[in-house]
Homo-oligomer: A and B are copies of this chain.
Amino acid sequence: MGAVTTSKEPKQDRSRVTRQRLLEAAVACLAEHGWAGSTVSVVAERAGVSRGAAQHHFPTREDLFTAAVEYVAEERSTALRALAPSGPTHRREVVEAVVTLYTGPLFRAALHLWVAASDEEQLRPRVTELEARVGREAHRMTVELLGADESVPGVRETVQGLLDMARGLGLATLLTDDTQRRNRVVAQWARILEKVLD
């Protein structure tokens, strides 16, 4: 943003706040009502924003929801980056944090969007591209945080499998609160991962 302030800033700030509120409302709608129940009108009302203002920011429903999932992805990445410095002693913590990224309302919203995208031609290419990008970023950060050496054969696939497991654990929480079982699985696989990576 730089140090120079202009008279435009308050308006830009308001616009940014409106956009942010729309994105947060879109994520909450998707997580609670799924794709079918999530329209621009519903999201605008939830955000306390007029339909016109919502459409100024996001001309189509697809624009709004892909932006919402991109926002979720960025939030999840920020959460992962905020973790303590990596190193072999922190591996269990890293595994726990990665799994946390795939549970909770953020992942739930993404899941609804994926399933909707698998049937909707208009949505599919955007969500596929976005998911590929998010997947690469999550992988890169997980490797870094685990202090894993991908030049060693098998390490890359070990980390990928961990992320797949995290995704599967996220899916398991969709219908029931599965926290206790999940914690035991995570503890065991963190132990296994420590042995494999050392």
Contacts and interface: CB of A to CB of B under 8 A. Distances in A.
B185 A157 contact: yes
B124 A157 contact: no
Contact of A115 (B112, B131, B166): B112
A51 interface: no
Interface string A174-198: 1110000100110111011000100
A149 interface: no
A160 B181 contact: yes
A160 B37 CA distance: 33
Interface of A: 32-37, 108, 111-112, 114-119, 124, 127-128, 131-132, 154, 157-158, 160-161, 163-172, 174-176, 181, 184-185, 187-189, 191-192, 196
Given A112-B115, A158-B188, 12 more contacts: A34-B115, A108-B118, A114-B171, A118-B174, A124-B175, A128-B176, A157-B187, A157-B189, A161-B192, A164-B185, A168-B168, A168-B171
Nearest to A163: B168
B32 A175 contact: no
B175 A114 contact: yes
State the main secondary structure of chain A at its contact with B: helix
Contacts of A34: 115-116, 118-119
Contacts of A169: 164, 168
26 contacts: A32-B119, A36-B36, A37-B119, A108-B118, A111-B115, A118-B174, A118-B175, A128-B175, A131-B176, A132-B176, A157-B185, A157-B188, A157-B189, A158-B192, A161-B165, A161-B188, A161-B189, A164-B165, A164-B185, A165-B165, A167-B167, A167-B168, A167-B171, A167-B172, A192-B192, A192-B196
Nearest to A162: B165
B33 A191 contact: no
